[in-house]
Amino acid sequence: MLAKRIVPCLDVREGKVVKGVQFRNHEIVGDIVPLAARYADEGADELVFYDITASAHDRVIDKSWVSRVAEQIDIPFCVAGGIKTIEQAREKLAFGADKISINSPALTDPSLISRLQDEFGRQCIVIGIDSYYDAETDSYKVKQFTGDEAATKDTQWYTQDWVEEVQKRGCGEIVLNVMNQDGVRGGYDIKQLSMVRAICDVPLIASGGAGIMEHFKDVFELAKVDAALAASVFHKGIIDIGELKQYLHANHIAIRL
């Protein structure tokens, strides 16, 4: 049976892993490669590295650490941050990344998704979506350039429409990051994730809000996502990945132990 995946996310800034609360006030958590190796040893199923400054500042991530991660860890990993061209994507994949994740540049130019898919196949094209609940209109909407508070802006996309659009254009996986709850650790947004799950035919990764082990159980059981991504609960040692996987296994969720 296909296992549900536990995916630690390492937000990268200036070559270090950082974590902010609701995308603000980033603090350094540690070095990239040792943290990646530790998570692989503890049983992480996959890793995601986001260069949170790259899109907003029009910079491309320093590629050298991608290769160092690929040399040392034996689980899949995805690289995100400022990838706007086929060549930038090719470079990350050639250095050993299994997937590349596109967020803001896909909103600027949605044709990038289909061009990447034509070149590399959709299996390595992940679309990150930063979605928030807009209370005024009682709807879910997409934000862009969330890596930098000053640059963050609203888009014209409703989340449902963008989820449909990126699949039509050929993405292989979607990471849905729900901004309202990120860092607050109050649980994944089950309602929103369930809504997206219903219209998502590619693997769906839930992101944002994990605080306790039960949140992971809920998001797998109730929202039926394929993977759950989290950062601070792992970086700060609030949840141990090994213990989390034992807990999920005991609760009859398909997990690789």
Cα–Cα distance, 104 to 160 (Å, whole number): 17
Among 33, 37, 60, 93, binds other proteins (CB under 8 A): 93
Q: Does 74 bind other proteins (CB under 8 A)?
A: yes
Which residues are designated catalytic? 11, 130
Q: Does 136 bind other proteins (CB under 8 A)?
A: no
CB of 63 vs other proteins, minimal distance in Å: 12
CB of 27 vs other proteins, minimal distance in Å: 30
CB of 84 vs other proteins, minimal distance in Å: 18
Among 20, 81, 172, 209, binds other proteins (CB under 8 A): 172
Q: Does 227 bind other proteins (CB under 8 A)?
A: yes
Phi/psi region, residue 16 (left: phi>0; alpha: psi -120 to 50; beta: rest), is: beta
8 A C-beta contact, residue 88 and residue 51: no
Q: Does 96 bind other proteins (CB under 8 A)?
A: yes
Question: By C-alpha distance, which of 46, 59, 47, 48 is closest to 14?
Answer: 59
Among 2, 111, 135, 252, binds other proteins (CB under 8 A): 2
Q: Does 20 bind other proteins (CB under 8 A)?
A: no
Cα–Cα distance, 243 to 115 (Å, whole number): 41
8 A C-beta contact, residue 159 and residue 131: yes
The count of residues in the chain is: 257
Question: Can you spell out the DSSP letters for 101-144?
Answer: EESHHHHH-THHHHHHHHHH-GGGEEEEEEEEEETTTTEEEEEE
Among 76, 186, 187, 242, binds other proteins (CB under 8 A): 76
Closest to other proteins by CB, 41 or 149: 41
Question: Can you spell out the DSSP letters for 6-56?
Answer: EEEEEEEETTEEEEEETTEEEEEEEEHHHHHHHHHHHT-S-EEEEETTHHH
Among 110, 186, 187, 203, binds other proteins (CB under 8 A): 203
Which spans of this chain sit near other proteins (rule: CB under 8 A)?
1-3, 5, 40, 45-46, 67, 70-72, 74-76, 90, 93-96, 98, 118, 120-124, 172-173, 200-204, 226-227, 256
